[in-house]
């Protein structure tokens, strides 16, 4: 069995399941109808439902190393399948691509992985490598390069998402909006990219509760 803490957590969940059974019954009987697809990193510290307060049924989650969207022409089709399912079948209104500080996948771009030892990591990180190349070309200071690469990686996924006809079509028709977010592990805050100003601004700024 896994660790005792997971079993304890499961016992607590069973209590919640019983007390909130109407919610879980509805989800089981009526199916899922999430409005948001979440594309985030697999990092265990960046838990979408924890940092957004989303309940079961609210987020269609896709997590992989460094929150990467392979272009539609890529042989890596797991991510594309999830995108097509979310957009075409579930009809989500929003796709959030959320990067985070201290991302190990992005840090790994600074080194060349050994393809003989970790062939899948090597291939996967090649998909994120343009982010480092763009960050390097931006002329940003050395101490800012890591964070700049993390941010650039989020924005590159916008372009990659638009290689999927269902995403491009959804944006054109106004039924789908793509958002770029950045979660800061040190402060627990989320910033969103604003294309007009090219700035990252706290998502709480426009909410009723100021951060
Ligand atoms: Zn990460």
Short-list 106, 110, 115, 188, CA closest to 151: 106
Residue 16 lies in a domain: no
211 residues of the chain, pLDDT tens digit each: 678 999 999 999 999 999 999 999 999 999 999 999 999 999 999 999 999 999 999 999 999 999 999 999 998 889 999 999 999 999 999 999 999 999 999 999 999 888 999 999 999 999 999 999 999 999 999 999 999 999 999 999 999 999 999 999 999 999 999 999 999 999 999 999 999 999 999 999 765 444 4
- Look at the chain and report how many structural domains it folds into: 1
Q: 77 catalytic, yes or no?
A: no
pLDDT of residue 75: 81
Q: Which of 43, 132, 162, 166 is catalytic?
A: 43
HSE-CB at 164 with a 13 A cutoff on CA atoms is 26
Domain with 165 in it: 34-202
Q: Which residues of 32-59 are buried (b: 16+ CB within 10 A; e: fewer)?
A: eebebbbbbbebeebebeebbeeeebbb
**How many Å apart are CA 39 and CA 69, to the nearest integer?**
8
Q: How far is the CA of 56 from the centre of ligand 1 (A)?
A: 23
Q: How far is the CA of 68 from the centre of ligand 1 (A)?
A: 10
Residue 54 lies in a domain: yes
Q: 98 catalytic, yes or no?
A: no
CATH number at residue 150: 3.40.1050.10
Q: How far is the CA of 154 from the centre of ligand 1 (A)?
A: 11
**How many Å apart are CA 210 and CA 192, to the nearest integer?**
15
Contact 101, 153 (CB under 8 A): no
Q: How far is the CA of 150 from the centre of ligand 1 (A)?
A: 9
**How many Å apart are CA 21 and CA 62, to the nearest integer?**
26
Residue 168 lies in a domain: yes
| pTM of the model as a whole | 0.93
Strand order in the sheet with 36-41: 59-64, 36-41, 94-100, 177-184, 189-194, 199-202
Q: Collapsing DSSP states into helix, strand and coil, what is residue 8?
A: helix
Q: 100 catalytic, yes or no?
A: yes
Q: Which of 103, 132, 162, 166 is catalytic?
A: 103
Q: How far is the CA of 61 from the centre of ligand 1 (A)?
A: 15
Residue 142 lies in a domain: yes
Residue 167 lies in a domain: yes
Q: Which of 14, 21, 26, 45 is catalytic?
A: 45
Q: Which of 26, 98, 100, 166 is catalytic?
A: 100
Q: At what angle do helices 21-30 and 4-19 cross, to 10 degrees?
A: 90
Residue 95 lies in a domain: yes
Q: How far is the CA of 22 from the centre of ligand 1 (A)?
A: 35
pLDDT of residue 210: 41
């Amino acid at each position: 069995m896994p660790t005792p803490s997971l079993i304890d957590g499961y016992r607590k969940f069973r209590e919640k399941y019983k007390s909130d059974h109407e919610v879980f019954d509805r989800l089981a009987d009526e199916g899922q109808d999430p409005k948001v697809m979440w594309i985030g990193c697999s990092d265990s510290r960046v838990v979408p439902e924890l940092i957004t307060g989303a309940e079961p049924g609210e987020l269609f989650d896709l997590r992989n190393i460094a929150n990467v969207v392979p272009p539609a022409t890529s042989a890596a089709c797991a991510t594309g399948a999830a995108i097509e399912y979310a957009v075409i079948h579930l009809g989500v209104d929003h796709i959030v691509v959320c990067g985070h500080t201290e991302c190990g996948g992005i840090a790994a771009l600074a080194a060349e992985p050994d393809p003989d030892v970790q062939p899948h990591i090597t291939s996967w990180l090649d998909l994120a490598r343009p982010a480092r190349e763009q960050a390097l070309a931006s002329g940003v200071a050395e101490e800012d390069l890591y964070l700049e690469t993390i941010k650039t990686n989020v924005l590159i996924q916008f372009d990659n998402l638009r290689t999927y006809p269902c995403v491009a079509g959804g944006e054109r028709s106004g039924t789908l909006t793509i958002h770029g977010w950045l979660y800061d592990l040190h402060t627990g805050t989320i910033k969103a990219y604003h294309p007009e100003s090219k700035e990252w601004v706290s998502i709480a700024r426009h909410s009723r509760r100021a951060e």
